[in-house]
């Protein structure tokens, strides 16, 4: 028997010291008081153990409930994201279909190449094929010249 590191020799020493300190007349009363204290301590410790185990069970149940709720929210978000992804894919397809415009057919002026009248540096042929008429001196065009 070894309780909290107290073996038989240590227990005998404790009993002898108790007999000397308390005396043979009060020894049965003291033993009864010690037995009551041990019973109360066991009852108190079992009550605490029961309360702690109940609290742990409650926490586990709440954790399971929360985990189930979060899983439901996660599943719902995944479904909504998949639906949104499908909607976006269809919208992108519609936009691509709408943007597929035929390329403009080349005009004759664009097919013949650059306008031969636009020969000076800084002169650019306008979109209609007309060239700005003006004096070009030192790389600058005369701004007062009329444009056709």
The residues that bridge with 137 in the sheet, in sequence order, are 140
pLDDT at 104 (0 to 100): 60
| 132 Cβ neighbours under 8 A, 6+ residues apart | 123, 124, 126, 141, 145, 147
Instruction: Give the integer Cα–Cα distance in Å for 147 and 126.
Output: 10
Q: Supply the pLDDT for residue 14.
A: 85
Considering Cα of 18, then 20, then 21, then 23, what sign does the dihedral take?
positive
DSSP code, position 64: H
- Cα 125 versus chain centre, distance: 58
Q: Tens of pLDDT along the chain (148 residues)?
A: 566 777 888 888 888 888 888 888 888 898 899 899 999 999 999 999 999 999 999 999 999 999 999 999 999 999 999 989 888 888 888 888 877 765 566 665 555 555 555 555 555 555 554 444 544 455 444 555 555 5
Write down the pLDDT at residue 78. 93
Separation of alpha carbons 141 and 132, rounded Å? 9
Contact 112, 130 (CB under 8 A): no
């Amino acid at each position: 028997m070894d309780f909290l590191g107290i073996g038989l020799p240590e227990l005998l020493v404790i009993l002898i010291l108790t007999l000397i300190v308390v005396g043979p007349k009060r020894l049965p009363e003291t033993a009864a008081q010690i037995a009551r204290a041990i019973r109360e301590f066991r009852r108190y410790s079992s009550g605490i153990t029961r309360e702690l185990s109940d609290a742990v069970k409650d926490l586990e149940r709440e954790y399971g409930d929360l985990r189930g709720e979060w899983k439901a929210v996660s599943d719902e978000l995944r479904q909504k994201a998949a639906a949104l992804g499908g909607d976006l894919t269809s919208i992108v397809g519609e936009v691509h279909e709408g943007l597929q415009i035929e390329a403009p057919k080349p005009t004759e002026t664009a097919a013949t190449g650059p306008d031969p009248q636009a020969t000076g540096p800084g002169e650019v042929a306008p979109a209609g094929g007309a060239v700005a008429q003006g004096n070009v001196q030192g790389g600058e065009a005369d701004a007062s010249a009329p444009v056709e």
